[in-house]
Amino acid sequence: MKSQNGLVLGVLSEMELFSEIDYNFLVILSNLFEERVYNQAEIIFKEDSIGTSMMMITSGEVRISQISDPQTEEALIILKKGDVFGEMALLEDMPRSATAIANTNVIIFEIQRERFLNFIENNKEAGVKILMKLAKILSSRLRETDAKVKAFVSLTKWI
């Protein structure tokens, strides 16, 4: 069985976010993550809580949802192994935009903002590559949201 750092390193090396990072930087980065285990239906974080970390899924599924009241949940997306979430918290000290719930039993690796920013500051070459990939992920998600909003607005014209 791999050690936790070896497991984190393996997961990092397979992720698009870290695909352009040299192995030595991946080793350093892998030591900054902490393993978290959640049971099915357990809340990982709540919408409007202050985000301080990013998570990556190593097994299981996470449901990203908006909860308008205790009875009403609107699932926005189901994330799987290799997906990251909470990434906006690495860049800004703002409330979370949605609730993350373990859709199945799930294992994630989490990196705190402070550790991430220290890594970026101390490893500028790798940091720029990671930040560019992160920007592409955020841009892609924004485009998806924009398309959904346009479709919704188009549908409401017919109501």
Q: Residue 144: in which H helix or E strand, if any?
A: helix 124-156
Q: Residue 2: its pLDDT value, please?
A: 44
The pLDDT tens digits of the residues spanning 23-41 come to 999 999 999 999 999 999 9
Nearest CA among 100, 116, 130 for reference residue 38: 100
Whole-angstrom distance, CA of residue 49 vs CA of residue 94: 8
Instruction: State which of 4-8, 27-31, 140-144 shows the largest mean pLDDT.
Output: 27-31
Instruction: Give the model's pLDDT for residue 65.
Output: 92
Mean pLDDT of the region 89-109 = 93
Please give the model's pTM, rounded to 2 decimal places.
0.82
pLDDT at 106 over 90: yes
> H or E segment at 8?
helix 4-14
**Measured between alpha carbons, how far is 103 from 105 in angstroms, rounded to an integer?**
7
Give the percent of the chain with pLDDT over 90. Answer: 54
**Distance, first Cα to last Cα, the chain:** 57
How many other CB atoms are found less than 10 A from the CB of residue 44?
A: 20
Residue 63 CB coordination number (10 Å): 20
**What is the rounded CA–CA span in Å between residue 117 and residue 146?**
29
Which has more pLDDT, 157 or 110? 110
The enclosing H or E element of 101 equals strand 99-102
Distance in angstroms (rounded) separating the CA atoms of residues 110 and 53: 7
The pLDDT assigned to 5 comes to 65
Confidence of residue 1 (pLDDT cuts 50, 70, 90): very low
Rounded to an integer, what distance in angstroms lies between the CA atom of residue 84 and that of residue 146? 20
Q: Which fold has domain 4-156?
A: Jelly Rolls (2.60.120)
